[in-house]
Amino acid sequence: MSIAFDSEKRIFKLDTATSSYIFQIYEQDYIVHLYYGAKIPDNNVVGLKYRGGFPSFSPNNIKVDDWMFSPDVTPMEYPGEGTGDFRISAFAVRNSDGNNSTDVRYVSHKIYAGKPAIDGLPALYVENDDEATTLELLAEDSVTGVQAVLYFTVFEKLGAMTRSVKVINNSDKTVQLERVMSTCVDFHTHDYEMLTLYGRWGKERSLERRALAHGRQLVSSKRGSSSHHQNPFGAIVDKGATEDYGNAYGFNLVYSGNFAFEAEVNQFAGTRVIMGINPEGFGWTLEPGSVFNSPEAVMVYTPDGIGEMSRIFHRLYRKHLIRGKWKDIKRPLLINNWEATGMDFTGDQLVTFAQRAKELGIDMLVMDDGWFGDRNSDRSGLGDWQVNEEKLGGTLAEFVDKINALGIKFGIWYEPEMISRDSNLYRAHPDWCIHVPGREKSIARHQYVLDYSRQDVRDYIFGEMYKVLSTCKIDYLKWDFNRNLTEVGSAALPADRQKEVFHRFVLGTYDVMDRLTKAFPDMLIENCSGGGGRFDPGMLYFSPQIWTSDNTDPLERLTIQFGTSMCYPASTMGAHVSACRRTGYDTKGNVALWGSFGYELDPNKFTDEEKRIVKRQVKEYHKYYDVIHFGDLYRLISPFENNNRAAWEFVSEDKNEALLTCVVISRPADTALFIKLKGLDPDKYYVDDETDEVYSGALLMNAGICLPNEGVSDGSSFIRYFKSLK
């Protein structure tokens, strides 16, 4: 098995295709981390727990017969608070005595094939038990009786593992959880760089890279969502690591709320990395016999650079995170009316959209915001999920029948977690929004956030959605979320449980999404949060694609899509052609092909030439679908490092197909561009679909090809498709 326990040395060894992860049960049952890195065959690494001598300011346990051992400097597997380890802790429980000293030690373990689900939370899954192996380790604080069950699941073939924690109050007294991180790894050095993804609305997931230094380095969210501003992804990489070379350790949290990813370099230059729910603003009352589950952290290691780290994430998520009908089959090519009409539309107008879309080969029309209640601007209507039949010119079922009669599928927009101040629902239930009594409610986009920590609120919203969605054939739902949480409080919880609201809100969202996917298993859900404000694995568990950004400018999209691809596969990235004027439709289409392709404009305004281009793009979407959605991504020229060009390549799993895309951001002075492809079979021969020239894989990767620069202008682009000769 990929997880082994050496009972004599009391060492656990977890192996994947690329890595080994080793820890030991030491004296007095301390759980001591030993190694995480390139795969090794043996486990003779016990000496790695020592960090050299230390003074009296690093305390020891008098029961441990080892003068070199101190919790302050020893690498720990799941460190607690206030018991000798002064570094950032993974676990802190305030007990009935009022202190938060926390120290969990090994009690027992079990190893088994497969992977358990996490109650109430999204998580990676297996379809067959032989796809993963799990270690379930029980640790306990002997003073308080609080237990922590540490879960380690190894996806051996994919080079990845997951971590999560179940906290059990095994005492007869209530305790308060203050910190429950999902994973902690102690590295032996600080000779690394931290790689994270920062941004803002319309400029999500830009790449940030910094050298680790003594002290703490943190990225986080306390907005109630994973956010546009920081993503729950981080990596620790060798200094100078490239796409192709160097150690890369990737971390990603399967969670859509407040998170923290933090690294601390201590006095001996060791580095501790933790990831989990952001402790700031978090608290949880755990009564005797009660259980709390942390979200799951995904960990990937490779010695083969940042690009291979990304490809491991992509393979893992395509196979073990994305679920349901749309996991492996071709998704519909859609057109959304939002950028064309906003909320100012009629049913007849959208029927003409569908007619034009059908002529162009588009599969689906999505009706965006404005179809319900008194909703003609963003000032009213959210929460009143009743169809505006006057606007549609009849019932929703009648309208959808008109669309379907054209041979077009139909999709619809919702924002189920929000409520307008000007709405019938708010007037009837003003206490249903998240708020703090006596304090003014901050407004954003003229709306408040519904209190999804409440069962009655969730039941009502799901019921109203079900009434609409069950009346006719709706193939797609766009789930939006257009503001963050402020004045976070719930009228349904007592004062001593108000710190639970942030997490309960996320659990409530997952509850409604889970009910929705079970009630409508054939419906494709696309998540959105003002674009990419909740682009995280938690959302991907329920919606196999996410609207990557509200910014559809193809040149701006280059950094957004490059950054997103650090751990999220192309199949998850909603990418549309819009009416943006910075480039022509060729480049708009070439950039949007990197993702779940679609259109965001008025098809009635196309010229004959634009119609010809769109029809060609539709054919390309079908022709290249498999290599893009299921192939391996190679980032060739990064817009973060090159102001003139960006280039990327998809290679099919069997290495029989490759799709190269290059975009000219700003025309450089040189007259030609040489590009070396990656990931091909050096012994195969490939034909260039455009020129019919035949090249060996070795030539394409080692010598490269030349793309002409003559006549090229800012915003131009190229696509080259290669297919192996049989």
Q: Is residue 33 over pLDDT 80?
A: yes
State the pLDDT at residue 518.
98
Q: How far is CA 455 from the centre of its chain?
A: 26
Tell me the pLDDT tens digit for each residue of 80-111: 999 999 999 999 999 999 999 999 999 999 99
Region 635-658: mean pLDDT is 96
| pLDDT confidence bin for 582, thresholds 50/70/90 | confident
Region 708-718: mean pLDDT is 81
State the pLDDT at residue 166.
98
State the pLDDT at residue 671.
64
480 is annotated as an active-site residue: yes
Tell me the pLDDT tens digit for each residue of 351-394: 999 999 999 999 999 999 999 999 999 999 999 999 999 999 99
β-pairing, 31-38 vs 19-25, is: antiparallel
Region 545-567: mean pLDDT is 97
Q: Is residue 726 over pLDDT 80?
A: no
550 is annotated as an active-site residue: yes
Region 187-198: mean pLDDT is 96
Region 438-461: mean pLDDT is 97
Q: Cα–Cα distances in Å, from 203 out to 199, 209, 633, 664?
A: 5, 17, 22, 19
Q: What percent of the chain has pLDDT over 90?
A: 92
State the pLDDT at residue 93.
98
Give the whole-angstrom CA distance, residue 433 versus residue 716. Answer: 48
Q: Is residue 540 over pLDDT 80?
A: yes
Q: Is residue 52 over pLDDT 80?
A: no
State the pLDDT at residue 179.
98
State the pLDDT at residue 615.
97
Instruction: Yes or no: say if 297 and 261 are a contact pair by the CB < 8 Å rule.
Output: no
Tell me the pLDDT tens digit for each residue of 583-625: 999 999 999 999 999 999 999 999 999 999 999 999 999 999 9
Instruction: Yes or no: say if 478 and 411 are a contact pair by the CB < 8 Å rule.
Output: yes
Residues 6+ apart with CB under 8 A from 11: 5, 22, 23, 24, 25, 34, 43, 46
The sign of the CA dihedral 186, 149, 291, 120 is: positive
| pLDDT confidence bin for 121, thresholds 50/70/90 | very high
Region 162-185: mean pLDDT is 97
| pLDDT confidence bin for 60, thresholds 50/70/90 | confident
Q: Cα–Cα distances in Å, from 248 out to 160, 245, 251, 320?
A: 12, 9, 10, 21
| pLDDT confidence bin for 51, thresholds 50/70/90 | confident
The model scores a pTM over 0.95: yes
State the pLDDT at residue 449.
98
State the pLDDT at residue 58.
86
Residues 6+ apart with CB under 8 A from 486: 434, 441, 442, 444
Region 153-182: mean pLDDT is 97
Q: How far apart are the first and last CA of the chain?
A: 38
Neighbouring-strand partners of residue 19 = 38
| pLDDT confidence bin for 491, thresholds 50/70/90 | very high
Q: Is residue 1 over pLDDT 80?
A: no
What are the structural domains, with CATH classification, of the chain? 3-320 (2.70.98.60), 334-547 (3.20.20.70), 635-724 (2.60.40.1180)
- Residue matched to tokens 């230094």: 213
State the pLDDT at residue 581.
81
Instruction: Yes or no: say if 575 and 590 are a contact pair by the CB < 8 Å rule.
Output: no
Of 550, 626, 681, 692, which residue is the catalytic one? 550
Q: How does the average pLDDT of the chain come out, rounded?
A: 96
Q: Which of 256-265, 579-588, 664-673 has the lowest mean pLDDT?
A: 664-673
Of 85, 369, 480, 536, which residue is the catalytic one? 480
Give the whole-angstrom CA distance, residue 454 versus residue 490. Answer: 8
- Residue 268: CB atoms within 10 Å: 15
| pLDDT confidence bin for 707, thresholds 50/70/90 | confident
Q: Which of 276-285, 317-326, 540-549, 671-680 has the lowest mean pLDDT?
A: 671-680
Q: Which of 311-320, 576-585, 662-671, 682-691 has the lowest mean pLDDT?
A: 662-671
DSSP 630-695: HSEEEEEE-TTT-SSEEEEEEE-TTSSEEEEEEEESS--SSSEEEE---S--TTSEEEETTT--EE
Give the whole-angstrom CA distance, residue 8 versus residue 672. Answer: 63
261 by DSSP, 3-state: which?
A: strand
Instruction: Yes or no: say if 278 and 221 are a contact pair by the CB < 8 Å rule.
Output: yes
Region 442-459: mean pLDDT is 97
Residue type, 112: Y
